[in-house]
A and B are shown apart, each in its own frame.
Chain A
Amino acid sequence: MQDWRDAKGPFAAIFGAPALWLLAFFLIPLAIVWAYSFGRPTGLTDIAITGTFANYVRTADPVYLGIFAKSIWFAAITTLLCLVVGFPIALVITFASERGKALLLLAIMLPFWTNLLIRTYALMAMLRTEGYVNTSLGWLGIGPLPLLHNNFAVTLGLVYVNLPFLVLPLYSALDRLDKSLLEASLDLGAGHLRTIREIVIPLALPGILSGLLITFIPALGSYLTPDLLGGPDSQMIANVIERQFKRANDWPFGAALSFILMYLTFICIAGQGLLARRREKAGAV
């Protein structure tokens, strides 16, 4: 590795453009939102940055606390369901033949490459009262069930959208395991479930945890899924933020909510990092 002072010209040429871009079109916009979160609206479009904490105090209102709790609940249940659904898939991919592996990974990833809005729309067409599921149930004499515009639809939609986020990291965690340990456990008489519980999960835990994090974070900030599939009581933080910026026109309050969402995200990442470090230390001793 080269010290930047030994090659100032090339360093400036390589480092300059991306650093400036990041500063101008990412950090400064975020910093402005952060500053707005300490301001108050003084008219239709004007905002005075007064250093007030009033916006943050307002987020402690039970209505907004409820929405935060609901968002965390949605994201947590989604992550858990993705784990339950995705773990067997990751297990199969790990132990499939080369060709089977490639095909299954492609099959799991292809919907993931498809536009999020289109996937959500496809679910709407399935779930609505005149949708395919209810029509089929109707032929059996059941229903119509209320499948769309409620919390059930949001949870289903979040699982549908986020499942590949969890399967991939799970697969890469399981793929790194030493397979002979699993064989030894099975040889010594442990059943499959016990082997998974006592060998696979503890050994793959760091990978599993980071997979959970990768699923939880985007789920927590979901906007489109609750917006299109949810009912009036299934709003998540992102929907409230959108309303502050687009309709209620209370940008400082929206900015405060945005930053609370950011802080929650950072806390999750830091927590996971701490856990990983503690495990490493425990392993070293």
Chain B
Amino acid sequence: MTLRTRSREAKGPLDYARNWPLRIWIALVLVFLYAPLACLVAFSFNESRRNIVWTGFTFDWYGTVFGDDELITAFVNSLTIAALSTLASVVLGALVAVALWRFRFPFKPVFDGLVALPIVVPEICMGVSMLVFFSRVVPWPTDLPWPLDLGAIVIAHISFSFPFVAVIVRARLASFNRELEEAAKDLGAGEFRAFIDVLVPHMRPALIAGALLAFTLSLDDFVITFFTSGPDTVTFPVKVYSMVRFSVTPEVNAASTLLMAVTVVLTLIGLKMQGKDVAKMGNG
């Protein structure tokens, strides 16, 4: 850890980061957080099927995963759902944020509260409401071609993702100088042009952060998907769940490692893109 900043200076009274008992505590917590994940990744390369004792290095389990059609379908489904849901959530979330930021309208506090509701409602409640909705009110046809058969899951994912995007974009809009938009309109830009050319560039970092969050939320979701998905529309978490329930196998380790790699790469890309945006704003 590079917590030492002024290692040559005397330790100040508030230098908790240089306090040994606290450092040991942090180290222990990090071991607690990472050891299970590290073991999971390590044993996805282990030869032995029993998954306990290290017997030798192998890529076989990854071969098994890529040979498992059901698992690959589930993986592709999950990525497709996440991509579609992210796209719609970013648009809807940004619109909510702009509406709340720009307009005064009747029952505004009510709308504000309702839009935050999907964030606080327990997942299981939202899951059962989607189950009821898509089985009784709007039965989603089961024989649709891919990816339309994923529609119900995508809709459910959008519903729980876009309020998060709205929160992030709203925080960003608070720092917008309204005069810029007025200036654009004075210079002859219409409503739509002013929105696209002035407001959207300002929201950009928040849109990226929101997209990243929406994508991760969608990829991560098990409970709501579990209730929304039919027998033929399986996502990666739902598939892994059915494998995990009964046994711990190296195939699951390999599949999980792949998904973790996707998430970590996406997170790093997102952080980097945000960093660039912030840097650009600093210069411009």
Contacts and interface: CB of A to CB of B under 8 A. Distances in A.
A115 B124 contact: no
Nearest to B220: A115
Nearest to A123: B36
A217 B13 contact: no
A26 B159 contact: yes
Interface string B195-235: 00000000000000000000010011011000100000000
Contact of B2 (A14, A103, A163): A103
B241 interface: yes
A108 B29 CA distance: 9
A52 to B, nearest CB: 18
Task: Tell me whether chain B's interface is mostly helix, strand or loop, or mixed.
Answer: helix
Nearest to A21: B92
Given A89-B26, A241-B124, A265-B121, A29 B129 contact: yes
A119 B103 CA distance: 43
Nearest to A261: B122
A137 interface: no
B114 A22 contact: yes
B256 A32 contact: no
B136 interface: yes
A30 B99 CA distance: 24
Contacts of B22: 88, 91-92
Contact of B14 (A4, A114, A122, A182): A182
B95 A15 contact: yes
Interface in A146-165: 160, 163
A76 interface: no
B143 to A, nearest CB: 20
Interface residues of A, number: 88
Given A118-B260, A221-B125, A262-B121, A28 B137 contact: yes
A94 B16 CA distance: 9
Interface stretch (A59-67, A127-135, A276-284): A127-135
A220 B121 CA distance: 11
A5 to B, nearest CB: 9
Interface string A186-214: 11000000000000000000000000000
Given A25-B156, A25-B158, A122 B36 contact: yes
A221 B122 contact: yes
B33 A97 contact: no
Given A26-B159, A100-B2, A262-B121, A113 B267 contact: yes
Interface string B11-42: 00111110100110110011011111101100
B43 interface: yes
A88 B25 contact: yes
Nearest to A179: B14
B16 A95 contact: yes
A223 B133 contact: no
A86 B223 CA distance: 26
B131 A91 contact: no
B122 A4 contact: no
Contacts of B43: 125
The CB with the most chain B CB atoms within 10 A, among A95, A103, A117, A160, is that of A117
Contacts of B25: 88-89
20 contacts: A14-B103, A21-B159, A30-B129, A36-B132, A88-B26, A91-B16, A99-B2, A100-B1, A113-B264, A113-B267, A115-B260, A117-B240, A121-B240, A125-B43, A126-B35, A128-B248, A242-B124, A251-B132, A258-B124, A259-B125
Interface of B: 1-5, 13-17, 19, 22-23, 25-26, 29-30, 32-37, 39-40, 43, 50-53, 91-93, 95-96, 98-99, 102-105, 111, 114-115, 117-118, 120-126, 128-133, 136-137, 155-156, 158-159, 162, 166, 191, 216, 219-220, 222-223, 227, 237, 240-241, 244-245, 248, 252-253, 256, 259-260, 263-264, 267
